[in-house]
Amino acid sequence: MIKKFLIHVCIFLIPVIIGYAIVENYSRNLPLTPKIKSEFYKNNIQDIEVLVLGASQNRDAINPEFLSHKALNLAYPDQDYYVSSKLLEQVGPTLPLLKTVIIPISYGHFETAPNQKDTWKNSMYRHYFGTTVSDKFTYFKDNFLYISFPDYYSVKINEQKKGLLHLDCNEYGYNRNIEKALFYTFDYDSLTISKQPVHITPTIPHPEYIIENIQKLEDILAFCGQQKYRVILLETPTTTRFKEHRIPEVLRRKDSILTMIRSTYNVHYVDANSANDYMLKDHRDHNHLSPQGAEKFTKRLNTILEELE
Amino acid sequence: MLFNSFDFGLFLPIVFILYWIVGRKRIQGQNAILLIASYFFYGVWDWRFLLLIIASSLVDFYAGKYISKAKTQQKRRLWLYSSLSWNLGVLFVFKYYNFFLENLKTLFELPENTFTTLDIIIPVGLSFYTFQTIGYTIDVYRKKIEPTQDILKFLCFVSFFPQLVAGPIERASKLLPQFSRERSFTYDKAKDGLRQLLWGLFKKIVVADNIGVAVFAIYNHPEEYGSLTIIYGAFLFLFQLYADFSGYSDIAIGTAKLFGFDLSTNFKLPYLANSVTGFWRRWHITLSKWFQDYVYVPLARGKALGFFSKSSRKAISLLITMGLIGLWHGANWTYLAFGLLHGVLIVIEGTTMTSKGKKMKLHQWLETGVFWSKFYTVTFLVVSLIFFRASTLDKAVIMLKEIVTQNIAFYNFDLIIGRKIGFLVIMIIAEVWRKRYTHPFMNLEGILPKVVRWGIYYFLIFAIIRYGRPQEAFIYFQF
């Protein structure tokens, strides 16, 4: 009886397994930026000298094609210091020429919740870079992409099928497509943009997040010290309106953390946010650069890196 | 380990095969496999929780034994009080201690550092298994059941993994004998269990978790929405809570069936009740029955409130019981308010009235199905659940104020979760259509051909995979 039951269950599950295998395969072959970056990483593992970590601000601000040294940009939306430290610890040692690590110190980065709940990123990094960015026990199920974030991959599969997955990536995986950028949707019309509210997050301070984020940043800096990597703490450009809306208390906290870090660790601080020559078209939205802005910014960053050599 | 996790998807078949193939020849073997599996299931959260559940199990096992052995009533009572002190003490320390101190400080305006609060987390399912073991000891004391002499069976009874962390809260008289009974595999029961499990997963992963996104958005910033949008959010929470908790119960009952066990029904379409009294006969039935037997009846019939008249005694007992039911959910004034609101309504519904020359209680009259009775019940539930969902009483009041004072009723309204709202409609239709059965897939053979049934199952599996969100814990786990 039990055998019959198990056989029936297995027969019932066959279409489910086949269906899932098809979707999983499709997800793995989607031309998404992490896939392109992983190909760049595999093909240039011996030559990469610069590693960019952090969240979407760094992802959009640094286009490695404008750096004189080969750079891998592993910044990703909502990526906190915890994930960045995991990436650094695992990817860093695989890069024999790695000299410079770029880490964000932007407004609010210390205040946001450490996003360890984003377990799907663990699957993404395991698949594309062979790294584990979660402290939780991981096993073969964490290799599956689709099941890690069905909503995201379903949308991407649909876009791909309908020909709407408009990525315009260079070999470094930098996406030059700005169709979905907020300012682009307003046709870069300054009047319309000025009428839009500026969303500044977070609004409520969480001391526990700040403590945890500082701890993780210090882990990164300690690791960089051990490996003798040069550290660039980077603040990317934002719009004037964004700067006006920042909460003074959050700014003060960030500045005091920065002072503490600079006095304790051997780091270089690049404050690109005080520059006033970034035009509206240089931004995707209030705190992200457009490809045009990224070119301008990355060239300047390159000069700084050259000077540090 | 969460039911809605991949881990459980691996754990369940392994335990199932071990249980029926390796342990099939001996009851003790099957019980041992269940115990190890249950402790593994529970220990995955935090192995330290295991120490507590084992300690609680041992206390009640020996308390039961010594109560039945005791020769005098005094000694019996002593063992009962020892067990109650341990169980309620553990519950108090882990769940209510910090709340109690915080309020003491506020009440007497004591300086901030007067007491040290405990930096501890509440073990998952603490309130559920504690109530189950308390029920056992009281039943032994009342001589309703004989205490078990088999410690393995008792440990299994307390920790049986399908219902360990969020019920149903089983009575020893029902569940304990099942660990002594020979269990042979039944194809139909296992099949029915799988179907109920699938339905529970659908309710939790597809309906509850997706509705939860909208509820979270609206409850977090009610000021950003119009009054009707807030009402929409409050209604959604009503269904989120039901789909989440009854989904858990379905998974628990279905899983238990796979191992040859029968657990109690916990929900009977509660939102179709015609009165608040009727609602509590359909909602979290095992909890309300527990409170009725071990709190309400002793209070209403005992000497503790003897100086009140019969009707006052009943009303006070009801209010105390409902207040405690509220507080059972957590150490927060919002839960107490939720419980007391229900208590007040149940007391009012218990008043006698005359309708068409007949004397009857108000809730009996409501349950005859007067047209607005369902409207009244659901409206009250929506309002009271605002207290249940809000993190503080102030926030609940703000929510209610926003409903009344917002000028643009549909300001910022959209479904938020888009077409996924359709899954809620599917759940409601299926449950109402099959309301005579414990779950909608029961006895479908006579109604739908196999190909349609399988089509439905595949659709549900597709929805679970496609619309599953990053694992969300069950709401009732926190209690």
How many C-alpha atoms does A140 have within 13 Å on its Cβ side? 1
Q: How far is the C-alpha of B368 from the C-alpha of B473, rounded, in Å? A: 38
Nearest to A117 among B187, B465, B470 (CB): B470
Whether B458 contacts chain A with CB within 8 A: yes
User: What would the mean pLDDT of A288-305 be, rounded to a whole number?
Assistant: 95
Q: Is there a domain that residue B381 lies in? A: yes
**In this complex, do B471 and A119 lie within 8 Å of one another by their Cβ atoms?**
yes
Which pLDDT score, from 0 to 100, does residue A145 have?
A: 92
Q: How many CB pairs under 8 A join A and B?
A: 40
**In this complex, do B470 and A120 lie within 8 Å of one another by their Cβ atoms?**
yes
**In this complex, do B185 and A147 lie within 8 Å of one another by their Cβ atoms?**
no
Locate the domains of chain A by residue range. 31-118+168-308
Which pLDDT score, from 0 to 100, does residue B227 have?
A: 84
Q: Is there a domain that residue B1 lies in? A: no
ipTM: 0.82
Query: What residues in B contact A4, CB-CB < 8 Å?
Result: 187
Residue A113 tokens, joined? 């919740």
Which pLDDT score, from 0 to 100, does residue B132 have?
A: 96
Residue type, B116: T
**In this complex, do A119 and B17 lie within 8 Å of one another by their Cβ atoms?**
no
Nearest to B187 among A4, A16, A154 (CB): A4
**In this complex, do B185 and A20 lie within 8 Å of one another by their Cβ atoms?**
no
Query: What residues in A contact B19, CB-CB < 8 Å?
Result: none
The closest alpha carbon to B61, from B165, B7, B133, B9, belongs to B133
Same domain, B105 and B145: yes
Q: How far is the C-alpha of B371 from the C-alpha of B391, rounded, in Å? A: 34
Same domain, B28 and B89: yes
Rounded percentage of chain B residues whose pLDDT exceeds 70: 95
User: What would the mean pLDDT of B363-368 be, rounded to a whole number?
Assistant: 80
Same domain, B124 and B203: no
Model confidence band, residue B113 (pLDDT cutoffs 50, 70, 90): confident
Whether B464 contacts chain A with CB within 8 A: no
Question: B126, B152, B178 — which closes off a domain?
Answer: B178
Residue A136, min C-alpha distance to chain B (Å): 11
Q: How far is the C-alpha of A225 from the C-alpha of A267, rounded, in Å? A: 10
How many C-alpha atoms does B67 have within 13 Å on its Cβ side? 27
Q: Which residues constitute the domain of residue B23?
A: 6-178
Rounded percentage of chain A residues whose pLDDT exceeds 90: 65
Residue B465 tokens, joined? 């995979």
pLDDT of B229 > 90? The answer is no
pLDDT of A28 > 70? The answer is yes
Provide CB contacts within 8 A for B47, sequence distance 6+: none
Nearest to A150 among B457, B458, B466 (CB): B466
Which pLDDT score, from 0 to 100, does residue B106 have?
A: 81
Residue A170 tokens, joined? 């260079």
Taking only Cα atoms into account, the Rg of chain B, rounded to an integer number of angstroms, comes to 23
User: What would the mean pLDDT of A109-127 be, rounded to a whole number?
Assistant: 82
pLDDT of B143 > 70? The answer is yes
**In this complex, do A5 and B191 lie within 8 Å of one another by their Cβ atoms?**
yes
Same domain, B34 and B141: yes
Q: How far is the C-alpha of A118 from the C-alpha of A132, rounded, in Å? A: 12
| Catalytic residue (choose from B329, B342, B363, B439) | B329
Same domain, B112 and B218: no
* Mutation for testing the B interface, residue in A1, A2, A120 having most B CBs under 10 Å: A2
pLDDT in tens, A234-279: 999 999 999 888 888 888 999 999 999 999 999 999 999 888 889 9
Which pLDDT score, from 0 to 100, does residue B308 have?
A: 81
Phi and psi for B31 in degrees, rounded to 5?
Answer: -65, -40
Residue A186 to residues A178, A195, B193, B311, B421: CA-CA distances in angstroms?
12, 11, 54, 69, 30
Query: What residues in A contact B185, CB-CB < 8 Å?
Result: 1-2, 5
Same domain, B236 and B266: yes
Which pLDDT score, from 0 to 100, does residue B219 have?
A: 84
Nearest chain A Cα to B463, which residue? A150
Which pLDDT score, from 0 to 100, does residue B412 have?
A: 58
User: What would the mean pLDDT of A113-135 be, rounded to a whole number?
Assistant: 83
The closest alpha carbon to A166, from A143, A148, A184, belongs to A184
Which pLDDT score, from 0 to 100, does residue B311 have?
A: 84
Which pLDDT score, from 0 to 100, does residue A81 have?
A: 92
**What residues of chain A, 113 to 152, have a C-beta less than 8 Å from chain B?**
117-120, 141, 147, 149-151
Model confidence band, residue A41 (pLDDT cutoffs 50, 70, 90): very high
Least trusted range by pLDDT, from B63-72, B183-192, B248-257, B368-377? B368-377
Whether B185 contacts chain A with CB within 8 A: yes
Domain count, chain B: 2
pLDDT in tens, A63-95: 999 999 999 999 998 888 999 999 999 999 999
Whether B467 contacts chain A with CB within 8 A: yes
Nearest to A1 among B187, B461, B469 (CB): B187
Same domain, B305 and B444: yes
**In this complex, do A5 and B187 lie within 8 Å of one another by their Cβ atoms?**
yes
Q: How far is the C-alpha of B166 from the C-alpha of B186, rounded, in Å? A: 26
Nearest chain A Cα to B44, which residue? A137
The closest alpha carbon to B378, from B212, B239, B222, belongs to B239
Nearest to B21 among A2, A117, A150 (CB): A2
Q: How far is the C-alpha of B217 from the C-alpha of B406, rounded, in Å? A: 17
Query: What residues in A contact B470, CB-CB < 8 Å?
Result: 117-120, 149
Model confidence band, residue B476 (pLDDT cutoffs 50, 70, 90): low
Same domain, B90 and B216: no
Residue A63: Cβ within 10 Å count: 25
Q: What is the mean pLDDT of chain B?
A: 89
User: Is residue A79 a contact partner of residue A172, using CB atoms and an 8 Å limit?
Assistant: no
**Is B439 a residue of the active site?**
no
pLDDT in tens, B26-85: 899 999 999 999 999 999 988 899 999 999 999 999 999 999 999 999 999 999 999 999
Same domain, B69 and B16: yes
Question: B143, B178, B213 — which closes off a domain?
Answer: B178
**In this complex, do A9 and B471 lie within 8 Å of one another by their Cβ atoms?**
no
Taking only Cα atoms into account, the Rg of chain A, rounded to an integer number of angstroms, comes to 21
pLDDT of A136 > 70? The answer is yes
Cα angle for residues B268, B274, B278 (degrees, 5° grid) = 55
Rounded percentage of chain B residues whose pLDDT exceeds 90: 61
Which pLDDT score, from 0 to 100, does residue B407 have?
A: 62
**In this complex, do A9 and B21 lie within 8 Å of one another by their Cβ atoms?**
no
Provide CB contacts within 8 A for B279, sequence distance 6+: B270, B271, B273, B377, B381
pLDDT in tens, B308-346: 888 889 999 999 999 999 999 988 899 999 999 999 999
Question: For residues B307-320, b (16+ Cβ closer than 10 Å) or e, as one string?
Answer: eeeeeebbbbbbbb
User: Is residue B95 a contact partner of residue B122, using CB atoms and an 8 Å limit?
Assistant: yes
Q: Is there a domain that residue B66 lies in? A: yes
Phi-psi region of A79 (alpha: psi -120 to 50; beta: other; left: phi over 0): beta
Helix and strand counts by DSSP (H, E) for chain A? 12, 7
Residue A10, min C-alpha distance to chain B (Å): 11
Same domain, B126 and B161: yes
pLDDT in tens, B413-459: 565 667 788 999 999 999 999 888 989 999 888 889 999 999 999 99
Q: Is there a domain that residue B184 lies in? A: no
H helical segments located in chain A: 2-28, 33-43, 56-61, 81-91, 119-129, 150-161, 182-185, 190-195, 207-227, 240-245, 248-264, 291-308
Which pLDDT score, from 0 to 100, does residue B146 have?
A: 94
* Mutation for testing the A interface, residue in B187, B419, B454 having most A CBs under 10 Å: B187
Cα angle for residues B240, B241, B245 (degrees, 5° grid) = 115
Question: B154, B178, B202 — which closes off a domain?
Answer: B178
User: What would the mean pLDDT of B358-364 be, rounded to a whole number?
Assistant: 82
Q: What is the mean pLDDT of chain A?
A: 91
**In this complex, do B466 and A154 lie within 8 Å of one another by their Cβ atoms?**
yes
pLDDT of B406 > 80? The answer is no
Same domain, B226 and B122: no
Whether A19 contacts chain B with CB within 8 A: yes
**Is the previous residue joined to B270 through a cis bond, with omega within 30 degrees of 0?**
no
pTM, to two decimals = 0.86
- How do strand B352-355 and strand B358-361 relate by DSSP bridges? antiparallel
Q: Is there a domain that residue B429 lies in? A: yes
Whether B191 contacts chain A with CB within 8 A: yes
**What residues of chain A, 72 to 111, have a C-beta less than 8 Å from chain B?**
none
- Architecture label for domain A31-118+168-308: 3-Layer(aba) Sandwich (3.40)
Whether B14 contacts chain A with CB within 8 A: no
Same domain, B310 and B444: yes
**In this complex, do A1 and B469 lie within 8 Å of one another by their Cβ atoms?**
no
Nearest chain B Cα to A1, which residue? B187
Nearest to B185 among A1, A150, A154 (CB): A1
Model confidence band, residue A164 (pLDDT cutoffs 50, 70, 90): confident
Nearest chain B Cα to A144, which residue? B6
Residue A252: Cβ within 10 Å count: 10
Nearest to A141 among B6, B458, B470 (CB): B6
Residue A66 to residues A32, A37, A44, A301: CA-CA distances in angstroms?
21, 16, 16, 9
